[in-house]
Amino acid sequence: SLVTALPATDVLCRQLSLPVTKDREIEAVRDFQVEPLLPFPIEEAVLDHQVIFKNKQGARLSVVVCRKERLQHHLQKIPFESARVSSIPSALAATVTGSGCEAILHLGEESATFVVAVEGMLLAMRSLAFEAGQQLLPVFALEVAQTVCAMQEHGHPLSCLSLCGEVGSDLPSILEETT
């Protein structure tokens, strides 16, 4: 079967703590609990989630959200009816198989995507669309550094940073300056 991926600029990733642990209970309260974290009404959203962990106090979820209109637009471009849809951040996160917290920075011609994942689960993401030749990398590097710091503060220090895509020779120095 075919799997396609929504661009990172079309999705949001939010972490959500719930006071429930049963899958049925999680499904029942997820949308209501995530709605205040969205910049658009829940009726316009398509959601998916992964359970990061469960304990006696509840569950922690990683929720990936996109607007229904963006998903419909994406699907209209695909000539297959039975395509499954993921997102570029989720696909990048799925490559993380170790138990440590890892980050992946993918630089494309028109966008940059940064994901933080543990065991294939997307914990955080940042994305930035830009036009060719635009010098936004230092700004994006600052966002990446802020995300790394936030992850460390929440007990998820990075064990690895992977760079892929159109990685320029100045990227390591820019990242070093901001961290």
Backbone angles phi, psi at 136, to 5 degrees: -105, 0
pTM of the model: 0.81
The pLDDT of residue 144 = 82
38-54 tens-digit pLDDT: 999 999 999 999 998 89
The pLDDT of residue 110 = 78
What is the average pLDDT score of the chain? 85
> 150 vs 137, which has greater pLDDT?
150
Query: For the stretch 61-77, what's the b/e string if a residue is b when 16 or more beta carbons lie within 10 angstroms of its beta carbon?
Result: bbbbbbbeebbeebeee
- Dist. CA 105–CA 93, nearest whole Å: 11
Residue 13: helix, strand or coil by DSSP? Answer: strand
Residue 40: helix, strand or coil by DSSP? Answer: coil
Residue 145: helix, strand or coil by DSSP? Answer: helix
The pLDDT of residue 41 = 95
Q: What is the rounded average pLDDT of the residues 59-67?
A: 95
Confidence of residue 18 (pLDDT cuts 50, 70, 90): very high
40: CB partners within 8 A, 6+ apart? 67
The pLDDT of residue 24 = 95
- Dist. CA 48–CA 68, nearest whole Å: 12
83-129 tens-digit pLDDT: 788 999 999 999 998 888 999 988 877 788 889 998 889 988 888 87
102-111 tens-digit pLDDT: 999 888 777 8
Please, which contacts does 167-170 make with residues 24 or more away whose CB atoms are closer than 8 Å? 167/107, 168/107, 168/137, 170/137
Confidence of residue 178 (pLDDT cuts 50, 70, 90): low
Burial zone of 22 (CB within 10 Å; 0-12 exposed, 13-18 middle, 19+ buried):
exposed
